[in-house]
Structure 1
């Protein structure tokens, strides 16, 4: 398998997790970093365990022929600019969420990637977590039957105690509760439910606690989704809560239900009908980027690159579906009405 050299665009908190995960894979290493702040190459290399050259000139870094892929960890408002530059340079792309902050930019990103014919990986890494790998296996095994209702909710108080807070409070980069963080829950629900979303209705509000007063947008939202065939779902995105991190999942099917790491089913004989059975899985229980399952996701990306294939589960083509639903939900909250996905042209 080929050894891939990766350049990181944007050297902040999430970039350190990307670098650690990329260098921990068997087939890639970080060789360059672009940052608006000058970096010391020797210190960077010593910190991350690979020879890293730093740049303050993005064009110069992207001209390097030995760079095969980039990992875009810049502010969300910069994503479109950096994806377009990387695609034009012919580099494969790892892209942090959210993909973009607007539908217009999402279309530009999609067109640029298609034109350049580069491979992509969007950091909806929860699909590679133990929790959702096990959950998807339970669904695929038919233990729940046909799911007609599902809810996945994201509870994470992003206040001054959390690194993301510094830039997340401004609408310019935070965007919305869903774009900022709750998009992980939306993506996880769509993974579990499958099929097409026909329409969404979303409402938003915010905490009265003064620690969240700097936010320029509503920090709590709830979205009701109508899927093809009449199924329904719900996603709450709450980044102004005072509680431990919680990634809630409840799926209801024709033969059973799943609640976080528990399930009950008519499909398995001998179960206590009055009690849940426990699944062995590591729950998503932290918003810290060092705890995210990036390594498994990036391993899958580099393996797909070696095969000349799109990566499973989180290519741009797959992830843009979830992103469109997030944008539709935010539009619904803004307009105060149901939004059909076909309205997003």
Structure 2
């Protein structure tokens, strides 16, 4: 049985769930860990009972011949540089979102991965959520007809309680924004359901908190390339539980979060029906379906096919996020594809 060696860099909350998912797939083996703080890697090895090496630097991961896949869970501002270096070394890459802080970084990652002809998987883990999979199945099988409106919003209070606050939310150093830090999950689903976006117009505000260096709340209207419309929003300052809002309207039916109405499939229905699935209703990474993400990667490696959240899909979603940020900054609509 073919088994692929995995090296993980950046051992934090998310990395722990990545590692557990690799451990449950017989085709993947975590052979080495590394982090900016070596103690974090040592602690993860002990807690998870790993038979793996703990290395001092990212360079050591890249140089290991027994590592086929490098999983990048470092702070956001390091993702692009590390992904390019891993690709240039011929390693397949798993990159936590956001993969880039700028258009130039985004292009550099895509070009490096394409040139190296390696597999890529980006941490848009919501694609494997059972509720999302049900919705995508309805779309693919025509249950909603032709979509003409797609709305996906991410509402999750983020504050100093988060371990990544100093580099992910509380400062603009390195380029973070609400769209890139986490609103990208909603943006990715908007793209996943609706397709390519042609134009974005967004507003950003400071609602009632001032402990961010960028607008923690925004709303964006989008026009898809097929002429249909949509909307995506995000807030890190909301005083409510985690919400991923999903509203779709098509020519044959609609989705309203946990409910759906599909008149062709259920001609006798008199009202909304309920999805019976696990929903996107928690910000706890242990709740996220990383197993599906890693199993998809393993299948792509074995069968030599593309992953579901490959670099091309991720490029499209990140480009929308950058367009949102540009529109907030300029006060003007932004047309895609972006130029420098």
Same fold (TM over 0.5): yes
Listed one character per residue, the Cα deviations across residues 213-252 of structure 1 (whole Å, up to 9, x for unaligned) are 3211000111100012320000011111110001010101
For residues 139 and 288 of structure 1, the distance between their equivalents in structure 2, rounded to whole angstroms, comes to 28
For residues 242 and 166 of structure 1, the distance between their equivalents in structure 2, rounded to whole angstroms, comes to 21
Q: In structure 2, what is the equivalent of residue 6 of structure 1?
A: 6
For residues 35 and 94 of structure 1, the distance between their equivalents in structure 2, rounded to whole angstroms, comes to 16
CA RMSD of aligned residues (A): 1.6
TM-score w.r.t. the length of structure 2 is: 0.95
Q: In structure 1, what is the equivalent of residue 99 of structure 2?
A: 99
Unaligned runs of 5+ in 2: none
Q: In structure 1, what is the equivalent of residue 269 of structure 2?
A: 271
For residues 262 and 208 of structure 2, the distance between their equivalents in structure 1, rounded to whole angstroms, comes to 41
Matches within 5 A, 1:245-324: 245-267=242-264, 268-272=266-270, 275-311=271-307, 313-324=308-319
* Deviation of the 1:54 alpha carbon: 1.3
Matches within 5 A, 1:29-48: 29-39=29-39, 43-48=43-48
Task: Call closer, same or farther: CA 1:243–1:4 in 2, change over 3 Å.
Answer: same
Matches within 5 A, 1:202-213: 202-209=202-209, 213=210
Task: Call closer, same or farther: CA 1:257–1:2 in 2, change over 3 Å.
Answer: same
Which shows bigger deviation, 276-285 or 9-18? 9-18
For residues 231 and 92 of structure 2, the distance between their equivalents in structure 1, rounded to whole angstroms, comes to 34
Unaligned runs of 5+ in 1: none
SS at match of 1:305: helix
Q: In structure 2, what is the equivalent of residue 135 of structure 1?
A: 135
* Deviation of the 1:26 alpha carbon: 2.5
Task: Call closer, same or farther: CA 1:61–1:264 in 2, change over 3 Å.
Answer: closer
SS at match of 1:39: helix
For residues 103 and 40 of structure 1, the distance between their equivalents in structure 2, rounded to whole angstroms, comes to 31
Which shows bigger deviation, 157-166 or 313-322? 157-166
* Deviation of the 1:10 alpha carbon: 1.2
* Deviation of the 1:277 alpha carbon: 0.8
* Deviation of the 1:174 alpha carbon: 6.6
Q: In structure 2, what is the equivalent of residue 78 of structure 1?
A: 78
Task: Call closer, same or farther: CA 1:40–1:161 in 2, change over 3 Å.
Answer: closer
Q: Determine if the alignment matches structure 1 residue 184 to structure 2 residue 185.
A: yes
* Deviation of the 1:5 alpha carbon: 1.3
Q: Determine if the alignment matches structure 1 residue 332 to structure 2 residue 324.
A: no
SS at match of 1:302: helix
For residues 78 and 184 of structure 2, the distance between their equivalents in structure 1, rounded to whole angstroms, comes to 18
Instruction: Tell whether the 8 Å contact from 1:182 to 1:237 is kept in structure 2 after alignment.
Output: yes
Matched residues, number = 338
Which shows bigger deviation, 136-145 or 196-205? 136-145
Instruction: Tell whether the 8 Å contact from 1:68 to 1:91 is kept in structure 2 after alignment.
Output: yes
* Deviation of the 1:44 alpha carbon: 3.7
For residues 205 and 280 of structure 2, the distance between their equivalents in structure 1, rounded to whole angstroms, comes to 25
For residues 243 and 19 of structure 2, the distance between their equivalents in structure 1, rounded to whole angstroms, comes to 26
Instruction: Tell whether the 8 Å contact from 1:26 to 1:299 is kept in structure 2 after alignment.
Output: no
* Deviation of the 1:171 alpha carbon: 1.5
Listed one character per residue, the Cα deviations across residues 74-100 of structure 1 (whole Å, up to 9, x for unaligned) are 111111111122112211000000110
Instruction: Tell whether the 8 Å contact from 1:138 to 1:144 is kept in structure 2 after alignment.
Output: yes
Matches within 5 A, 1:162-201: 162-168=162-168, 169-172=170-173, 175-194=176-195, 196-201=196-201
Task: Call closer, same or farther: CA 1:229–1:32 in 2, change over 3 Å.
Answer: same
For residues 193 and 116 of structure 2, the distance between their equivalents in structure 1, rounded to whole angstroms, comes to 31
Instruction: Tell whether the 8 Å contact from 1:145 to 1:255 is kept in structure 2 after alignment.
Output: yes
